[in-house]
Structure 1
Amino acid sequence: MAALLSLHTVSQLQTNLSTSRVTVKPRAAVHGAQRMRVPYELKQEQSRLLHQLPSGLNMEVIVQKGVAEKESDEKKERTSENPPLVFVHGSYHAAWCWAEHWMPFFSASGYDCYAISLLGQGESDAPSASVAGTLQTHASDVADFICKKLTFPPVLIGHSFGGLIIQYYIANAKPDQFLDMRDFFPELTGAALVCSVPPSGNSGLVWRYLFSKPIAAFKVTRSLAAKGFQTSLPLCRETFFSATMEDHLVLRYQELMKKSSRMPLFDLQKLNAALPVPSVPKSAIELLVLGANDDFIVDAEGLKETGRFYGVSPICVQEVAHDMMLDCFWDKGAKVILSWLKDLKK
């Protein structure tokens, strides 16, 4: 099997998802027909808005307001003391991945929830380039939404490559920053990195897999670089979910992933060349680093690297896989984050 991992395959592994060119110039919108063919069906208390970015492109945001039951009666009302939560997805996903379980969970605990679809994903417009953007442009799009639509510093929650986007954001987030709005990153209450790509990017993960787990390396390449997860149910399950995930759920999410991502999030060769992200002082922001014990993509060393980089002890959730927010025991990770959020208020 190791012989199958040629230098060409190694190159594929290092890019992992794509090898396209990127631009940071204003990007032209695509026609609506190039969005998801069948929009994700929202739950009763959820809504969808299109946030217009400075480039003129529209970014999908799924919204679910927080509610809490009064002790005096069963009537529900919005709560205002909790920070809003802004969710950022990773590759091959979109805002819908948070709307399934975590947005209803956190909304029921009194948190206003906003899940963003990055450009070229979900119902968001796509730029005219061959990739959706860079760490800078994606983080700037998130910042633009926060600046224009939120009145209180939010908690950012990012998954996989969405976690890396958040790492770039927090490296640039400063209070009372009077700069050109294109460079403005509003301050945060905190950030949670969920099964996040580490600060150095995915190259370290790739090389560890290549030399210690060649079969796994081959599968990762086939699943992500060659998009094999889109056609193989077993490979999709192994890449993103626990072995016990029911077939009908894997098939449903597999189809949503295929429809969600019309273009790669990054040119990963250029991305890795620009990493690691800048470090921040330990006291600069409240940070949670959360991983999954059965993660097929981000290994234990990758989780530890992120924790060391930010000077925090990472938490590894047992019995869940890379797509922690969709997996069989999705509530395990959600409960860890909720406990951490409650500690932020103390």
Structure 2
Amino acid sequence: MRRKLFTLDRPAHKDRGHPPLVFVHGGYTHSGCWDVNFLPFFQERGYNCYAVDLSGHGKSSGIEKLNSFGLDDYAADVRELVASLDAAPVLIGHSMGAIVVQRYLEKSHAKAVVMMAPVPPTGLAAAGVQLAIRQPDFIAEASRAVRGEYTEKTIRVMREVYFSPDVSAEQFAVFQPMVQEESTWALTELMSLAMRMPVKRPRIPALVIGGQLDALFAANRLYMTATGWNAETCVIPRAGHMLMMDPQWPSVAQKIHDWLSLSFGLD
């Protein structure tokens, strides 16, 4: 049965003929994370922007069977959105969303791809062990966060894991209601990425960008993703995991804009 997908459609303020941008959120959140800073930024620079709620997330259907959705289902969501566009897009995926766009590109085409704070090809297991050592309370507090049961400790731990030390209380408060449950099946797949056979990747421009202070996926592991795509790699100083909402987001957005301009000779 076809799922009903919700997409934020944010047209360019002045269409300059740039390729459309398709934004794919990470786990435990929805498309609203892009709408705070990134979509207005790129609209102003002449891009038609689209941010999808993956199945079971945000305003898309399927929350009642969220745990049955896997990465291929999420890739199919992206494929459905791309099929509705007039031109091949640039895909911009964050965290789990970076894996989703990679899975999409196994069978479909895009003009370019940007992978922000990507889950490493080795999967979540190693990163989870390191996080458990640094933040032993994270699992318990994240469970409270997805239920909307924030305590002072929950706020502190979630801020430390997802953002840089520069995040304000007001900035974090915008993020709080965006946290939701994630599919157990998708998480299981992310745990076992290293066991999946390598696949042929399309030869398209690729950028891998991460935060210097990302507590989930260390910046020194970005090369693991970049190598397979022959991608340019960029580390944003003092940025945390939620690159599109972190106080350092202007540097992230500007880097992507500059890279797109250089890659495609845009104004």
| TM-score of the alignment, normalized to the shorter chain, above 0.5 | yes
Query: Structure 1 residues 251 and 206 mapped into 2: Cα distance closer, same or farther (>3 Å)?
Result: same
Q: Equivalent residue of 1:284, what SS?
A: coil
Counterpart AA for 2:10: Q
Structure 1: distance between partners of 2:12 and 2:229: 30
- Partner deviation per Cα, 1:69-105 (whole Å, 9 max, x = no partner): xxxxxxxx3222x100000001121111101100000
- Superposed CA RMSD in Å reads 2.2
1:222 corresponds in structure 2 to 140
Instruction: Select the residue among 211, 214, 222 that pairs with 1:292.
Output: 211
Task: Report whether the alignment pairs 1:113 with 2:31.
Answer: no
Q: Which structure is higher in helix share?
A: 2
Q: How far is the alpha carbon of 1:205 from its aligned partner?
A: 1.7
Q: How far is the alpha carbon of 1:278 from its aligned partner?
A: 3.4
Query: Structure 1 residues 328 and 62 mapped into 2: Cα distance closer, same or farther (>3 Å)?
Result: same
Task: Report whether the alignment pairs 1:191 with 2:110.
Answer: no
Structure 1: distance between partners of 2:185 and 2:69: 6
Query: Structure 1 residues 241 and 274 mapped into 2: Cα distance closer, same or farther (>3 Å)?
Result: closer
Q: How far is the alpha carbon of 1:339 from its aligned partner?
A: 0.7
2:200 corresponds in structure 1 to 280
Q: How far is the alpha carbon of 1:296 from its aligned partner?
A: 0.9
Give ranges in structure 2 of 5+ residues lacking alignment: none
TM-score by length of 1: 0.69
Query: Structure 1 residues 135 and 267 mapped into 2: Cα distance closer, same or farther (>3 Å)?
Result: closer
Instruction: Select the residue among 124, 133, 157 that pairs with 2:60.
Output: 124
Q: Equivalent residue of 2:114, what SS?
A: strand
TM-score by length of 2: 0.88
Structure 1: distance between partners of 2:86 and 2:246: 32
Structure 1 residues 200-215: aligned runs within 5 Å: 200-209=122-131, 214-215=133-134
Tell which structure's C-alpha radius of gyration is larger: 1
Structure 1: distance between partners of 2:88 and 2:258: 19
Are the counterparts in 1 of residues 9 and 51 from structure 2 also a CA contact under 8 Å?
yes
Q: Equivalent residue of 2:166, what SS?
A: coil
Task: Report whether the alignment pairs 1:86 with 2:22.
Answer: yes
State the number of aligned residues: 259
Query: Structure 1 residues 132 and 113 mapped into 2: Cα distance closer, same or farther (>3 Å)?
Result: farther
1:164 corresponds in structure 2 to 99
Give ranges in structure 1 of 5+ residues lacking alignment: 1-25, 27-54, 68-76, 174-186
Task: Report whether the alignment pairs 1:316 with 2:252.
Answer: no
Query: Structure 1 residues 132 and 83 mapped into 2: Cα distance closer, same or farther (>3 Å)?
Result: farther
